[in-house]
Every structure is written in structure tokens, then in C-alpha cells.
Structure 1
Amino acid sequence: MAVSVDASPLHPHAPPGAGAGTLCAAFQRTLAADPGAPALRAHGGGRALSRTEYGRAVEELAGGLAGLGLGRGDTMALLLTNRPEFHLVDTAALHLGAVPFSLDPGASAEWLEDALRHAQSRVVVCERRFLEVVFTARAPRVEHVVLIDGPPTIGTVSLDQLRCRAAPGFDFRRVWQGVHPDDVATLVYGTAPDGRTLAVELTHANLTYVMDACHRNLPLRVRGACLSHLPPAEPVGRLFAHYLHMTAGHTITTVRDPEDVPAAVAETRPSWFAAGPHTWERLRADLQGRFAARPDATDVAAALDAATRRVALGQRGEWVGASLRRLCDAAESEVLGAARSELGLSECDLMVSTAGLALDTQEFFLALGLPLAEVYGSAEAGVLTTLPPPGGIRIGSVGVALPGTEARIAADGELLVRGPHVMRGYRADPGRTRAIIDPEGWLHTGELAAMDEAGYVRAPGGPRAGLPVPGAVPDPNTRQRRRSTCRSRTP
């Protein structure tokens, strides 16, 4: 049984970048809609860059990169942590029709060299602390290293120098308007089971479709906020911060230290917040500790118990009695509303966890009145493959196929998906691409799953038995290996 989810028209109040076709067109629409709005800041740093300032920096950096010879279809590797410069440089490259992609700075020099060779990158952008590994891994085609912090060293160009190196006659508007939806926008690097380097090619059309599908599922507030706290090499971090800003205009706050995430959430009050199961478990433990330390801890526990029982009944489709409703109303006014505000999640329209979220952790946040949804995605399917419909979060399910896409379960229990979000293919590897995308366009995810008649997908159960699908990881217990592959669920 294949379940197809219709793509309804975009919401009449959709953000300005929705439906743009390319990420650079979405970015430019967003800038024009509200030039003075805050766009980009660092947690604990100074004031935010406005959209106008962000746009000016992107134009100057694009000119500098073009002066280095970067153009349409060329790749540019980034070894950066979460910081504003990542967003500036990556967006500048996109406006040239180039292909910026992130690599894990913690990877071995040997692996980085292999990835740089595979991508044939001529330009690498990095932080000063990663210079040694960059020069150690430097592939023959690398001609330029851009240093984003501090003065340049021998063999590097500083970010300030880059902003002043536009080639004479560089026409920024003409260049970005020439970017096509079918152009590759980024690469997601990993390692195949046989040890070969593997890179997923995602186009502008893939990524803008996923963002538009999010807007269809949940109309986004125009002046929201989001955190950039996941490593840039993790595609879900790019999706729910970097690309979300381009289409929705949410103010990005970058967080370099994972230990600062709870404080950044409380300060930023994000409209959307995506994190891995570990972060949600940590936030839950932190809040439970605060509840236990309160003088009225017993009353708080009773309020949470009532709210949890209401969630359980709702998940089973059972009636919530009048007495329980009264208890929950009291819990809302006396405990839950304040708890949401204290966490910084009271303005959150959707909270997303990647697959692997503990059921009791999800139930805890739903009891608090917070819409925590578990989702599933792979790089090959545009990073985000499933999402619950509005008001339709189900504990233990990763939601339904994105609007305008299809999902079905094969005879052997493998999850198959089809739609505009499916990757263009593996870079320079047509054989592996044909092995994973069949002639009818179905992407074979390599994940075991179940699906009910309403299209809800139960959390994928890991790679299927038998021969591994290209890019899949045969051992689901090897978390570090799963994180380093294209087809892994993000952390």
C-alpha cells in the first residue's frame, strides 16, 4: 500500500521565501520583505546583523569568491563550527550557483583529503584552529584557503580580504538570478559500507520543496527565531536553521558550545527548535530537577501526572472526563504555562526530534503543552522525509510523508519514498544511484518500518537484513558509524 499526501496550496500568509524555487531567490525575497529585521547573531555576542547587513555581506563575499574563481557548479568545502560566518559564506557561495558543503572538522586528515579529492574542491573555508588538519589533508585541486577568524597566515585569505576582492564588472544580481532549481545546492558526505566515500547531491529544488512542505504543514510566523546549534556537517542543522531563515526569515542565533543550548533556548525563545534525542532528554532532566527543588514539588508532580494522563487518553482516542479536564486546567494556569516560559519554548510552533526519541520523553513534553514531534529523514530524501500533520502528533510515530510525496512499505518491510525531495543522486556514482532509486522513482531507504492506513510511519527499526543497500550501515548499534554516513538518522 502506497500512501500519497496531497500538496495543498501554500498558506495565503506564507513567508516571503516560500515557493521561490531556489535558495538564493528565497533569501533575496526574504531580505526585500523586511530589510531592517534582525537576521543573524551569535549567542552571547553583540547585536544582530539586520537583513540588509546580511545581504550586503553575502554580496561582497560572493564577489570575493568569484574573484577566486568559484562559479556555478564548483564545490566549496567548509570546516566550521556554529558561528555567523558559516551562514554568510555558505549563502554567498549559493548565490554563485556554487556547491558549498560542510565537513566534520573532527574527522581524520585522511578522510578529509579523500572527501576533498572526491568533491574536487578548489576553495576551503575554515577556522584558524582547523588550519593544521586542512593543510595536512590538502588535496591537489585546493587552490585557496579562506580563514574566517583573524588575520591571514601564509597560504590563506582572510574574510575581510575576501570581501574586497570582487572581480571588476562582477554582476551579483545577474549571477544569482541565473541559478536554476535543478542546480546542486549542497553535498552530504559520508562513508559507504565498503569504505568508499559517498556524497549525496541535493538540489535547490529538493531543499526548497522540503521547506515549502513544512510551510504547508504548519504556517510559520513571519518574524520568528531559530537556533543554529547542531554541527553544520549535520544536514538537519542546515535545514532547520540555515535554510529555514532563507525561506521564513527567522532570526538565526548561532550556538558554538552544546553546553550553552539550554541558556540559548531560554534567551532566544525559538519558533522552531530541532534537536537530537539526547538534547531533549537533557532538557527534560533539567526541568524535572527544577520541579523537584520547588517547595510545592508535590503539587507540581500531581499537575504533571494529570497532564500526562490526558495525553495518554488523547493518544488512544479516548474521552477525557470533566474532573481530569479541571485538574489539567488548574495545572496549566499554576504550573505548565510557567514551565514553558522558563524553558524558553512558550513561543515554539513545532519542536522536532530526530528518530530515536524515548517515548516517555516525548510524552513529558506533550504533557507540558509543547508540540514535540519525532520525525524521520535521510540525506537522500531531502533530509526531512516525514512530519506529523497539524495537531496530529502521535507518540511512537515519525509522522506521515511530506505533502506532495509518497511512502510505502515493501514486502520485506523496507520503507520506500518518492517525490520532489529525493536527491539527484550520489555524486559521480551512477551505479549506486541506480541501486537505491528504482526505475519508478522509489527511493529505497534501507530502513525497516511499519505504516498504518492513515499513512503514519512507525519509527524505522534500523537497516533491513540481508545485503546492505548502498550507503546503509549494517550495524545499527554502531552509532558513530551511523552518524558518519549519508543515510543515517541525524543525532
Structure 2
Amino acid sequence: MTDTHTLIESRPPSVAAIFLERVEATPDGEAYRYPVPAAAGQGPDDWRVLTWAAAAERVFATAAGLIALGVRPEERVALASNTRVEWILADLGVLCSGAATTTVYPSTNAEETAYILADSGSRVLIAEDAAQLAKARERRAELPELTHVVVIAEADARPAADDPEDWVLSLAELEKRGAAYLAEHPDCVTERIAALRADQLATLIYTSGTTGRPKGVRLPHDCWSYMARAIQGTGLVTKEDVQYLWLPLAHVFGKVLTAGQISVGHVIAVDGRVDKIIENLPVVRPTYMAAVPRIFEKVYNGVVAKAREGGGAKYKIFQWAAGVAREYAKVSQDNFRHTGNASVPFALAAQHKVADALVYAKLRDAFGGRLRAAVSGSAALAPEIGYFFSGAGIHILEGYGLTESSAASFVNPGASYRIGTVGKPLPGTEVRIAEDGEILLRGPGIMQGYHGLPEKTAEVLEPDGWFHTGDIGELSADGFLRITDRKKDLIKTSGGKYIAPAEVEGRIKAVCPFVSNVLVHGANRNFCTALIALDEPAILGWAKEHGLAGMEYAEVVAAERTRELIDSYVEQVNEGLQRWQRIRKFRLLPRDLDIEHGEVTPSLKIKRPVVERSFKDLLDEMYAGAREA
């Protein structure tokens, strides 16, 4: 077996080359599963399979189609689509043609979509449907370099009367043209792949900035080739795994998973419909999946709500089982850390066995019954939620990375994972902590820079390759990293005390099963406050049992009984905080934070400045009359 160092050091220059290796090695192996949605009321979706050879046929046809359209190496082809198998095939087609993919979130509005297309100089846009086509059509005058729009949904690929000739075509038509071009030039795609250089641009991912325009992060082919081999080298994923992929592929976290899969050769079941996750899990029965913390929080809140609905006795059993799960996870992890043995005392093991039969087994079944591990990234997972799932036999391995570092810079090792940390650096990635606590990274996964923004690049990327992440963290003696907060998010009160809001927010989420999103505020103030959005299904379930049945979400949130409920949890959190960290006042929001209002990113991270602007009146109200030091 090849050791990890050799695997990484001998990596090909591109994922396109790794894709060719994979197709040659396992042409008849299953590569992708994807759903064909059933007509309304016509039963479950029909899941289909693509082998590596069948996938390669479509990838080559797409690549040749782009070459036939005149796309040259390193020219940009934008992709605006939800997560679906065509996204992966189109992205591979772009890479195999020698071009570079510009990723665009389908939720991005027409103005920002046009900005990204223009700033990247994208020649072709691969659009999911009529809605994405309409954005480009509306702003076509601003996009002189955009020569074609390729629409995935064939029925939506209808030219308008004033479209330039051949401006709109379907993905099926592009593949058809590519197949014809391949018949005349059979080596055109393999020649493009062979000519790829490691430092050649592969992907432009625009970060969703909280202020100003998004910046295009330039990731060359070597970033993805390195990530593919490094993920394989961790041993966390094997070729026997079935991964359920629903994360947005326009985000670096989703994209890096596709690179690792090609190198390892396991199956991906791909479906980006978030509302289908619960329905899909028992169908896909994944052994491995990745998610953002909000998904695990929602599952946890849902489990708590279901237990409460079962009546007092059932809820007490759940609370007992949740406590056992947390204690079991803490004791076993602590023992493993110090002795290499994850054993627990006999009495705790006996309690855990009973709790497993009563509670945990049902929870594992909801995930499909085969889940070996889940990776969580993009934001911090509250440790108490991590301990609960761990004790229930659902192992959530936190990882860490940024768009600028190709997503996967750190990940927790399998059996020796440590809750509350993001694990150890991937092989080949260096880390050091600056004097002010900022995490610095260096390695093959680091970006080339920001597209067309040399000054912005110089602010974060040193000449010797060290990248300033903007995150504050601590390294343990044995190399585990703990993230404490974003450098720019640290709160300094008017009394001079520093507070990490993410830590306090995580504690609130862990204690209160009704919280969806929370923002702690207190910069230059003499006490901290919080804006709290509640989880709608969970709080409406509670309301039904407490005399508030039939009320709308906003009415329940405005009720004094609801405020008293949340206040009890806030006080519980405050007991474990330093005086200056405590939440003195809070307000419940009339709605949850969402992408549509620009308050969270597509990966569900809160945009603090936007939220503080949106609810400035509530913040001002909490500080009205307060003496500011």
C-alpha cells in the first residue's frame, strides 16, 4: 500500500488526470447515484446509477462541446445550479477542457450574478433552469464576453426573440455537439488534460462577503489534486463507502468532497434538495456524509421535540438517555486520549446499553442505519451537541478550512477524534499560531490570490506562502486545533473585556432545543445582549402543548410565555459564564434569519453586520437608557 507522503508527493497535476486514472481503474464501478423525481403524487423518486465509464462519456462530451464553442485553456465557464449530478459532470467537463469553473450560487440575485460573470470574464454560463437563464438575459448588456448560456433543464433552453443566434442551448445539445466534435478530433480532450499545469487556474470561487463585493478566490489545479490525495491519505473514506452529498457545490466544502471521491473511488449519492434530506437518508443509507452544524442542530431539535410530544414519561427517558450519551462520550474520549483505550466504567456501560435500545438505535435508523461518520464544517458545532451524537453512535468529525485553503485544512482523525476541536492538519499542510492568536496556514491547498485584487491578496498572503485565516485558535501539544472565534468577530466591551461571541452562541444552542440562530452583541457596550431566532417546528410543537395552539410563528414568538421559556435557558447559560460574558437582555426575532434577506451565507453562516443592521431597532431598544461606560 502506498504511504500517504508518497501518495501526495507523486500526485498528478490535476483532478482531471486523477479522473482519467479512476475511469481506467474501475470503468464499471458505480460512481454516482442520482434521483429522477417522480411526478406529484406518483410515489418515491427513481434513483439511477452512473458508472465511471458512463460518467466519463458525458464529461468528455461536455469538454469537447466547450472546445467546439471556442473555449480556450484557463478561460472561465460559470456554473449556476443547485447540487445535482449534472453539476459534477459539467464541472469535470470544464476542467477536462482546460478551462476554469466559476461557481455561482443559484440563490445569488441577478445583479451579483452579473458582477461575478463580468469580474471573472466568464465566456460560457451553464445554468440550471429558466430562472438562472433569466438572470443572465436580464443583464446581457453588461456581459459582452458571455458568448453562450447552456441550460441543464432541456425544456427551459428556449431562446428569446432578441437573443443572439446560438446564445442559448441545452446541456444535451452541448453534449451532442461535443460527441460530434470528438468523432472528428478523438484526442482533443485527452490532449487538453495532458497539457494541464499544476499552477493553471482550475476554479474561481467568489466568497460571500459581509460588506462590499465578493472576492474571487483563485484555486489552481494543484489545490484540488492535493486535496484529492490528502483526503485519500487520511483513510477516513474508503472505496466501499456511500457518501450522501447535498451540500451546495458552489461552496468549497461541497466541491472538495467531489475531488476526494474521485481519488478514493467510492459512491456519491447526490441530491441538493435540502427538504429531501430526511426522506433520502433511509433510501441512500449512507456510510459517510458531510454537513454544516445547522443540520445537526435541526436534527437534535427535532429529536427533542418528538420526545416531548410523546408525553412526560417519554421525555424524561429521552433526557436521561441524552445525559448518558454525553457522559459516555466524554469519559470514553478522555480515556482514549490518556490511555489509548476508550473503555468506560461498568455501570455507565450498562446504562448506555439500555439507552441505546430505547433511544439511540432509533436515531441511527433515521440516518439510514449505516452511518460510520459525518464530517461537520463551515462553522463550529456546539460541543454538547457533538457529545450527544457521539454517545448515540453517530460520530461527527469536525473539520476546518476556508475557501482560500480549498476547504479541508484540518479534520478530526477517525477513532481518536476530539469533540470541541477541528482535529489535525491534513498531511502536507503546515500551521502556526501568530502572537495575537491568529491561525496561519501554508501548503499546496492555499489559493494563488484574489482575482484581480493584488492589494487584497497581499493583506492575507505573505511572500513565503503563509496565509492569514482571520480565525483565532489554539493548538494542543499533540496537534489538535481549537477555533475560538473569527478575529474580526471578537467583541471588546466598553469595559475592555474581550468576548468570543461564537462560544456563547454555541452554549445557548446546546442548552436550548428551540433555538435556530443566535447573535451575541456587545462591542463597545457595557453589557452583552442577544438576538435569538427560534426553530419554527420545535417552538410550534411546544406552543401546541402550552395553550398557544393555532398561533402563527410570529405570534408565538411575541407571547410572554415563550419569552419566559427562553429566558430560563439564557439564565442557565449565564450561570456558566464570566460576569462580562453574560447575556443581560435578549429579543426574540419575528422570523428566522435567511439567505433571502442576506443574513446568512449559503453555507448558513451568520453575516453579523447584516443582522445587526436588519434588527438595529431591537438592539437599540435593549440599550436604551443604559449607561455606556
Given that 2:201 and 2:221 are in contact with CA atoms closer than 8 Å, whether structure 1 keeps it comes out as yes
For residue 124 of structure 1, report the CA deviation from its aligned partner: 0.5
**Aligned equivalents of 1:178, 1:429: Cα separation in 2:** 27
Supply the AA of the counterpart residue of 2:91.
D
Given that 1:376 and 1:387 are in contact with CA atoms closer than 8 Å, whether structure 2 keeps it comes out as yes
- The match for 1:307 is 325
TM-score (norm 2): 0.68
For residue 452 of structure 1, report the CA deviation from its aligned partner: 2.2
Comparing 134-143 with 161-170, greater Cα deviation is found at 161-170
Alpha-carbon distance change, 459 to 419 in structure 1, aligned in 2, over 3 angstroms: same
For residue 23 of structure 1, report the CA deviation from its aligned partner: 0.8
**Aligned equivalents of 1:279, 1:77: Cα separation in 2:** 28
Task: Say yes or no: does 1:277 pair with 2:293.
Answer: yes
User: Which residue, out of 409, 415, 430, partners 2:439?
Assistant: 415
Supply the AA of the counterpart residue of 2:19.
F
Alpha-carbon distance change, 193 to 288 in structure 1, aligned in 2, over 3 angstroms: closer
**Aligned equivalents of 2:398, 2:208: Cα separation in 1:** 25
**Aligned equivalents of 1:34, 1:441: Cα separation in 2:** 37
**Aligned equivalents of 1:232, 1:333: Cα separation in 2:** 37
List per-residue Cα deviations over 1:257-310 (Å, max 9, x = no partner).
211112222221223211111111122233445556779946565444333212
- The match for 1:10 is 4
List per-residue Cα deviations over 1:76-103 (Å, max 9, x = no partner).
0111112221111111111112111211
- The match for 1:98 is 99
For residue 10 of structure 1, report the CA deviation from its aligned partner: 2.6
Comparing 410-419 with 194-203, greater Cα deviation is found at 194-203
Alpha-carbon distance change, 388 to 322 in structure 1, aligned in 2, over 3 angstroms: same
Given that 1:397 and 1:456 are in contact with CA atoms closer than 8 Å, whether structure 2 keeps it comes out as yes
List per-residue Cα deviations over 1:143-188 (Å, max 9, x = no partner).
0110111243223011121112233325222222222222222111
Task: Say yes or no: does 1:252 pair with 2:268.
Answer: yes
- The match for 1:89 is 90
Task: Say yes or no: does 1:37 pair with 2:29.
Answer: yes
**Aligned equivalents of 2:305, 2:5: Cα separation in 1:** 40
Supply the AA of the counterpart residue of 1:153.
R
Supply the AA of the counterpart residue of 1:232.
L
For residue 374 of structure 1, report the CA deviation from its aligned partner: 2.0
Give the 5 Å matches for 1:15-164.
Answer: 19-43=11-35, 44-126=45-127, 127-138=129-140, 139-151=143-155, 152-154=157-159, 155-164=167-176
Given that 2:124 and 2:146 are in contact with CA atoms closer than 8 Å, whether structure 1 keeps it comes out as yes
- The match for 1:205 is 222
**Aligned equivalents of 2:145, 2:436: Cα separation in 1:** 44
For residue 63 of structure 1, report the CA deviation from its aligned partner: 1.1
Given that 1:105 and 1:130 are in contact with CA atoms closer than 8 Å, whether structure 2 keeps it comes out as yes
For residue 408 of structure 1, report the CA deviation from its aligned partner: 1.5
**Aligned equivalents of 2:26, 2:109: Cα separation in 1:** 43
- The percent identity for this pair of structures is 26
Give the 5 Å matches for 1:189-200.
Answer: 189-190=206-207, 195-200=212-217
Given that 2:329 and 2:388 are in contact with CA atoms closer than 8 Å, whether structure 1 keeps it comes out as no
Supply the AA of the counterpart residue of 2:17.
A
Give the 5 Å matches for 1:169-180.
Answer: 169-171=185-187, 172-180=189-197
**Aligned equivalents of 1:234, 1:133: Cα separation in 2:** 20
Task: Say yes or no: does 1:451 pair with 2:445.
Answer: no
- The match for 2:570 is none
**Aligned equivalents of 2:489, 2:308: Cα separation in 1:** 45
For residue 338 of structure 1, report the CA deviation from its aligned partner: 5.0
**Aligned equivalents of 1:159, 1:62: Cα separation in 2:** 11
- The match for 1:469 is none
Comparing 413-422 with 307-316, greater Cα deviation is found at 307-316
Given that 1:355 and 1:374 are in contact with CA atoms closer than 8 Å, whether structure 2 keeps it comes out as no
List per-residue Cα deviations over 1:97-117 (Å, max 9, x = no partner).
211121122223222212111
Task: Say yes or no: does 1:235 pair with 2:249.
Answer: no
Given that 1:355 and 1:459 are in contact with CA atoms closer than 8 Å, whether structure 2 keeps it comes out as no
TM-score (norm 1): 0.86
Secondary structure (helix, strand or coil) at the match of 2:215 reads: strand
- The match for 1:3 is none
List per-residue Cα deviations over 1:325-379 (Å, max 9, x = no partner).
2333454466534532332252334432432212221111101122202222111
**Aligned equivalents of 2:96, 2:369: Cα separation in 1:** 33
**Aligned equivalents of 1:249, 1:163: Cα separation in 2:** 24
Given that 1:266 and 1:344 are in contact with CA atoms closer than 8 Å, whether structure 2 keeps it comes out as yes
**Aligned equivalents of 2:18, 2:352: Cα separation in 1:** 42
Given that 1:310 and 1:320 are in contact with CA atoms closer than 8 Å, whether structure 2 keeps it comes out as yes
**Aligned equivalents of 1:257, 1:334: Cα separation in 2:** 31
Given that 1:448 and 1:464 are in contact with CA atoms closer than 8 Å, whether structure 2 keeps it comes out as no
Task: Say yes or no: does 1:336 pair with 2:360.
Answer: yes
Secondary structure (helix, strand or coil) at the match of 1:105 reads: coil
Comparing 444-453 with 31-40, greater Cα deviation is found at 31-40
Given that 1:405 and 1:417 are in contact with CA atoms closer than 8 Å, whether structure 2 keeps it comes out as yes
Alpha-carbon distance change, 123 to 460 in structure 1, aligned in 2, over 3 angstroms: farther
**Aligned equivalents of 1:441, 1:485: Cα separation in 2:** 29
Task: Say yes or no: does 1:220 pair with 2:244.
Answer: no
- The match for 1:471 is none
The runs of 5 or more residues in structure 1 that have no matched partner are: 1-7, 467-474
- The match for 1:5 is none
List per-residue Cα deviations over 1:29-60 (Å, max 9, x = no partner).
22222222222232323421222211111111
Given that 1:414 and 1:464 are in contact with CA atoms closer than 8 Å, whether structure 2 keeps it comes out as no
Supply the AA of the counterpart residue of 1:63.
A
Comparing 222-231 with 287-296, greater Cα deviation is found at 287-296
Supply the AA of the counterpart residue of 2:82.
T
**Aligned equivalents of 1:28, 1:196: Cα separation in 2:** 37
Secondary structure (helix, strand or coil) at the match of 2:154 reads: coil
Supply the AA of the counterpart residue of 1:122.
R
Q: Which has the larger radius of gyration?
A: 2
Given that 1:190 and 1:485 are in contact with CA atoms closer than 8 Å, whether structure 2 keeps it comes out as no
Alpha-carbon distance change, 415 to 209 in structure 1, aligned in 2, over 3 angstroms: same
For residue 120 of structure 1, report the CA deviation from its aligned partner: 0.6
Secondary structure (helix, strand or coil) at the match of 2:102 reads: strand
Given that 2:291 and 2:374 are in contact with CA atoms closer than 8 Å, whether structure 1 keeps it comes out as no
**Aligned equivalents of 2:319, 2:211: Cα separation in 1:** 51
Given that 2:151 and 2:170 are in contact with CA atoms closer than 8 Å, whether structure 1 keeps it comes out as yes
Paired positions, count: 470
Secondary structure (helix, strand or coil) at the match of 1:461 reads: strand
Secondary structure (helix, strand or coil) at the match of 2:376 reads: strand
For residue 479 of structure 1, report the CA deviation from its aligned partner: 8.8
Alpha-carbon distance change, 200 to 482 in structure 1, aligned in 2, over 3 angstroms: farther
**Aligned equivalents of 2:58, 2:69: Cα separation in 1:** 17
**Aligned equivalents of 1:409, 1:224: Cα separation in 2:** 35
Given that 1:61 and 1:89 are in contact with CA atoms closer than 8 Å, whether structure 2 keeps it comes out as yes
CA root-mean-square deviation: 3.1
